[in-house]
Amino acid sequence: MTKSHYLVVRCLACEGWLHPMAVKSHARPGKCRGHQWVDDVEDTTLVAAPLAAVLGQVLPPALVRRPTLSDDRVLTPGPREYLREEVCGGIVVASPVAGVSSRRWARVAAAAAARDGAAGVRAAMAPERFVDLERELVGDAVTCPCCAQSVTAKGLRTHQASSLLCRWRRAVGDVQELWASGWRDPFRVPDAPLSWGELNRTVAWKRRLRTVAFPRWSAVLVAPIEVVGDNGHVALIWHGARRQVQPGNDG
């Protein structure tokens, strides 16, 4: 099967999108993880040198590890893959404060370390001190509405454009909103073509299409047709007989 950029089958369990020929294999036991892959991503953040040395001395060993860097990126990096020495000498840390993301905690810890050294990092590790330090040292922090990560107001747009997790969660949210309004993937729409080219070949289908950009593909959805009954009730319908649907259900 050739790779396709425009995918037409949504898995309701993992929110992945598939080519029609991949549906059968995806539905086999053990293939679909049953939840979004972003839910398995550990909440850690990379801290570059020289701050890494300070945090590494103060944080418990269980919250610190070395970053995993591929040999290719270190020795023969491609375009836009060059790793700065500060990154190579950095560490990956988890937040010591419950309920606070690693990125948010590291931003406050960095500001506290710049002002007070190791003592500032220890203060940022105390739940009762963290909020005060954040208010005092990082006044422009905001929460991304797409992925709930803490970022600076100035860096919000860059974060939303570059973060793989943020782009994924935003795309899933867009799909779920359209789905709740009656939009469906072409695989669930009776008689709908199952390729991007065929969908665009007929005006009747083309005018009902919407794409949602995921990090590595675009999801294709088809708008329902609204029909007003004699009693004024609006129904959402499609043409023809319903195709058997899997994986998942019609949702």
pLDDT of residue 117: 95
**Chosen domain end from 163, 187, 207:** 163
pLDDT of residue 152: 84
pLDDT band at residue 56 using 50, 70 and 90 as cut-offs:
very high
pLDDT band at residue 157 using 50, 70 and 90 as cut-offs:
very high
Structural domain contains residue 124:
yes
Q: In angstroms, what CA-CA distances link 151 with 97, 146, 216, 234, 235?
A: 17, 12, 24, 43, 43
pLDDT of residue 239: 55
pLDDT of residue 76: 61
Name the DSSP letter for residue 20: G
Cβ atoms of 95 and 64 closer than 8 Å:
no
Token pair belonging to 98: 């419950």
Same domain, 50 and 154: yes
Same domain, 100 and 134: yes
Domain count, the chain: 2
What's the whole-number mean pLDDT along residues 204-226?
A: 91
DSSP, collapsed to helix, strand or coil, labels residue 251 as coil
pLDDT of residue 243: 42
Same domain, 74 and 125: yes
Structural domain contains residue 250:
no
- Map 96-164 to HEC letters: CCCCCCHHHHHHHHHHHHHHHCHHHHHHHCCHHHHHHHHHHHCCCEEECCCCCCEEECCCHHHHHHHCH
The parent domain of residue 46 ranges over 38-163
Same domain, 91 and 159: yes
What's the whole-number mean pLDDT along residues 22-49?
A: 94
210-228 burial: b if 16+ Cβ within 10 Å, else e: eebebeebbbbbbbeeeee
Structural domain contains residue 1:
no
